[in-house]
Amino acid sequence: MRTVSRQQVFGSLAGLVALSCLPTVSHAASSSIGRLRLSDAEWRKRLSPEQFAVLRRAGTEEPFTSPLLNEHRQGAFACVACALDLFDSATKFDSHTGWPSFFRARRGAVSERRDTSLPGEPRTEVRCARCDGHLGHVFTDGPAPTGLRYCMNGVALTFHPR
Ligand SMILES: [Zn+2]
């Protein structure tokens, strides 16, 4: 009797170990871009006050202030907080809004969620998929081929020429 119960205990332990391994394995398989999650205190050390206000507090930069509006070289626009490539220069267009605009984000690079912070004007917020930083919004009045307009805060982006 005693031996049997000990085997049952070992059996249960083995089951627990196997279960506790599962989340780690599936996480590694599903997050190919990796995730960067920091506290506000850590973000304040890494970011300028302007970058923090936009990325971590969903602020909006003044229009026509971003140097990236006049960036017309070939390359990639990356998240300034975590360096994830977000937009290719081939998808950039001049929306005349004063904010850097793109008609397509790189696959899997951004997450989108409903934003009801402006009364009567539901919008779709765009965040970086790696660090969850606020980037801007996406609207459906963009040009072909997607009809989308990713309206981005230039202060949240950095440009890497090819
Ligand atoms: Zn990021």
In the reported structure, the alpha carbon of residue 78 is separated from the centroid of ligand 1 by a whole-number distance in angstroms of: 8
- Do residue 76 and residue 156 come from a single domain? yes
Could you list the active site residues?
151
Task: List alpha helices for 31-159, DSSP H.
Answer: 40-46, 49-55
Residue 35 lies in a domain: no
CATH of the domain at 128: 2.170.150.20
Protein residues within 5 Å, CB atom, of ion ligand 1: 79, 81-82, 84, 128, 130-131, 133
- Do residue 126 and residue 67 come from a single domain? yes
- Do residue 92 and residue 153 come from a single domain? yes
- Do residue 132 and residue 65 come from a single domain? yes
In the reported structure, the alpha carbon of residue 129 is separated from the centroid of ligand 1 by a whole-number distance in angstroms of: 7
Question: For residue 23, what are the domain limits?
Answer: 1-30
- Do residue 24 and residue 103 come from a single domain? no
Tens of pLDDT, residue by residue, the chain (162 residues): 454 444 444 444 444 444 443 333 333 334 578 899 999 999 999 999 999 999 999 999 999 999 999 999 999 999 999 999 999 999 999 999 999 999 999 999 999 999 999 999 999 999 999 999 999 999 999 999 999 999 999 999 999 999
In the reported structure, the alpha carbon of residue 156 is separated from the centroid of ligand 1 by a whole-number distance in angstroms of: 8
Residue 97, CA distances (Å) to 56, 80, 102 in order: 23, 21, 12
- Do residue 60 and residue 93 come from a single domain? yes
